[in-house]
Homo-oligomer: A and B are copies of this chain.
Amino acid sequence: MDHRRRINELVSGIEQMGLEGAIIFSPENIHYLTGAPFVRGSYGKLLFVDRNVGASLIVTDLDYQETSDSVNSAEIVKTDFMEKPLDRLRKIVKGSPKLGFEDGIISTALREKIGEYRLEPLRGLIERMRERKDPDEIALIEKAQSINDRAIKKAVDNMREGMSELEIAAELEYNLRREGGESFAFETIVASGSRGVYPHGMPSTRRPSKGDAVVIDFGAKYGGYCSDMTRTIFFGDPGAEVRNAYEAVREAQEKAIESVRDGVSGREIDAVARGILDRLGLGKFFVHGLGHGVGIDIHEAPVVGPSNENPLAAGNVITIEPGVYLPGKYGIRIEDLLVVEKGGGRDLTRFNRELIVI
């Protein structure tokens, strides 16, 4: 990973904004800029970028060893015992430079706490850099998605009627780990039968049977990057109506995938899938946008849905995941992960989308 290039790009960006530096708290942004390992939701590190001096990564004792073993694009500064990174920052910042901060992430309480600095919002500067993945990043996401591919294949081979949603999740995650997933991209969804209408349904003790549709949505992290995949698998033959709905979702997904290329907006791609489901009378059950960007975060820019009229760009990594949810009956969703390229989209997902009956 060329972290120095990213730091340089950030420095150019802040210079264009008339800033002399930036204070970065988000573990995801720090990982992007330095490769520092991170734990979701942990704010133990602080990256200070000075346009003249370079980047300093302030870490506590707790994280010092692991960080210094893995970062070379920033100077590592260790705090004293029980000293907070913000306290150490005060000793590093000279004068009163104008500094950018992550206004989309920093809470108003934390903003107050750093009120002594002359601060300007970065307005998503780093997140915009992250939207267009470089080849190193795409390679990690491709590897993460291949872990999903192998894990779902093995898990499906072990699925049997009588298993609970929790047991199905156990199989998926067990194989995700053994295939190399260094953690999970998000909380695994296994939602069967009428629970399938919960698009974020956590696995329960419910045991699918008698043709139940089982929505499975899971992902790995590899090298800090996420994969994402959904398949809907049937426990018993679901009958003609549900088979037709499945084929409709599949057609919507395939046609949407064919429409992916640089220059097309998220709204236009969403409309392809939505148009097909509308025509087949299922549009009103497609209650979410078609997809989202994926990278260090499982949900990041760009949005693939009615709200995004901006053109996609080569290097975006996006999901295409139409779904229909019939209250009290069933849910069906199919999701692949793609890289946007010049003139087309490259699907990183290999596992097939034929209707599978256990």
Contacts and interface: CB of A to CB of B under 8 A. Distances in A.
Interface of A: 37, 39-42, 60-63, 65-66, 81-82, 101, 103-112, 121, 123, 166-167, 169-171, 173-175, 177-178, 180-184, 186-188, 197-205, 287-289, 299, 305-307, 325, 327
A205 B147 CA distance: 14
A291 B309 CA distance: 48
A171 B177 CA distance: 9
The 6 closest A-B pairs by CB, nearest first: A170-B177, A61-B287, A66-B198, A174-B174, A103-B109, A103-B108
A107 B106 contact: yes
Contacts of A103: 107-109, 112
Contacts of A41: 40, 299
B177 A173 contact: yes
A166 B186 contact: no
Given A106-B108, A107-B108, A173-B177, 5 more contacts: A41-B299, A61-B287, A65-B198, A104-B107, A182-B204
Contact of A203 (B177, B202, B306): B177
A41 B199 CA distance: 15
A224 B42 CA distance: 19
Nearest to A328: B65
A300 B204 CA distance: 26
A288 B188 contact: no
Nearest to A177: B170
A299 B325 CA distance: 35
Contacts of A184: 184, 187
Contacts of A123: 109
B182 A203 contact: yes
A166 B170 contact: no
A174 B170 contact: yes
A199 B62 contact: yes
A307 B82 contact: yes
